[in-house]
C-alpha cells in the first residue's frame, strides 16, 4: 500500500483547494463590459440657397405676385444658431421705368414666427438688415424655416415733371412697381458622426 507522509498530504490538499478555488472563481467571473463610446458632436455650418426675387405692388402695371414664400428643411438638425441677412431694393434693374421718383417702400419679411420690417432709404432705394437667433430661439424653428415676404406700403403718387424738371405733367404720377428682395440664411448645427 502506498503511504504518504503528513507533509505530502498537506501539499496535495493545498493544491486541491487552490485548483477548486480557481475553478469556482472562473465560473462566477464576468468579463468587464466594453465602455460605451461617447459620440462627440462636431459643429458645422450650412448656407441655404438664396431666396430672392421681386414682389409687385398692387398698382404695378405688369401684375404678378405681391408676396413670396419659401421653406427651408432642417429636419433632424440640432440648431445652435441661425443668421439672416435681408436686402430689399426699390429697383432691381428691370423695374426702373416708374420707380425713379417714388417714395420709400416698406416690406415685411417673416422668418417662422418673427417679422422683420424694412423700409427703403429715400436716396439709395434700398434697405438691409441682419439678425441672429441663438440658443432656444434657434431651436424653436423646428424642422422647417418658412420665409414670407410681403409688401406693406409702396411709394408712388409723386408727380412726374416735364423735360425741364420744373413743371409737373398734369394727371401723371409715379406708380411704384414693387420691390426686389434677397434673403440669405446661414445656420450652425451639431453633427454627430455615425448617427
CATH number at residue 46: 2.60.120
Residue 7 in any domain: the answer is no
Sign, CA dihedral 131-133-137-140, equals positive
Residue 29 in any domain: the answer is no
**Average pLDDT of the chain to the nearest whole number:** 80
Residue 170 in any domain: the answer is yes
The residue that leads in pLDDT, 190 or 32, is 190
The residue that leads in pLDDT, 70 or 158, is 70
Residue 125 in any domain: the answer is yes
Name the residue range of residue 153's domain.
42-191
Grid cell at residue 130: 441682419
Provide the pLDDT for residue 52.
94
Residue 119 in any domain: the answer is yes
Q: Is the pLDDT of residue 56 over 80?
A: yes
Residue 118 in any domain: the answer is yes
Residue 33 in any domain: the answer is no
Residue 68 in any domain: the answer is yes
Residues 87/142, Cβ–Cβ less than 8 Å = no
CA distance 121 to 180: 14
CA distance 161 to 183: 35
Give the residue-averaged pLDDT of 86-110.
77
Provide the pLDDT for residue 157.
60
Provide the pLDDT for residue 111.
92
Give the residue-averaged pLDDT of 160-186.
77
Number of domains in the chain: 1
Q: Encode pLDDT of 69-96 as tens digits.
A: 999 887 667 888 999 999 998 877 776 6
Provide the pLDDT for residue 160.
64
Which candidate, 189, 117, 126, places its Cα nearest to that of 148? Answer: 117
Amino acid at each position: 500500500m502506498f503511504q504518504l507522509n503528513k507533509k505530502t498530504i498537506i501539499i496535495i490538499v493545498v493544491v486541491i483547494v487552490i485548483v477548486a478555488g480557481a475553478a469556482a472563481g472562473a465560473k462566477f467571473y464576468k468579463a468587464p463590459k466594453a465602455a460605451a463610446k461617447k459620440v462627440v458632436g462636431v459643429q458645422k455650418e450650412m448656407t441655404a440657397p438664396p431666396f430672392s426675387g421681386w414682389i409687385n405692388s398692387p398698382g404695378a402695371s405688369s401684375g404678378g405676385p405681391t408676396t413670396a414664400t419659401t421653406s427651408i428643411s432642417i429636419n433632424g438638425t440640432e440648431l445652435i444658431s441661425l443668421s439672416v441677412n435681408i436686402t430689399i431694393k426699390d429697383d432691381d434693374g428691370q423695374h426702373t421705368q416708374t420707380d425713379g421718383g417714388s417714395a420709400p417702400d416698406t416690406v415685411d419679411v417673416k422668418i417662422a414666427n418673427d417679422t422683420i420690417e424694412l423700409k427703403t432709404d429715400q436716396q439709395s432705394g434700398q434697405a438691409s438688415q441682419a439678425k441672429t437667433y441663438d440658443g432656444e430661439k434657434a431651436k424653436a424653428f423646428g424642422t422647417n424655416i418658412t420665409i414670407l415676404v410681403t409688401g406693406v406700403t409702396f411709394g408712388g403718387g409723386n408727380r412726374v415733371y416735364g423735360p425741364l424738371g420744373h413743371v409737373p405733367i398734369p394727371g401723371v404720377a409715379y406708380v411704384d412697381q414693387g420691390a426686389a428682395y434677397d434673403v440669405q440664411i446661414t445656420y450652425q448645427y451639431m453633427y454627430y458622426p455615425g448617427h
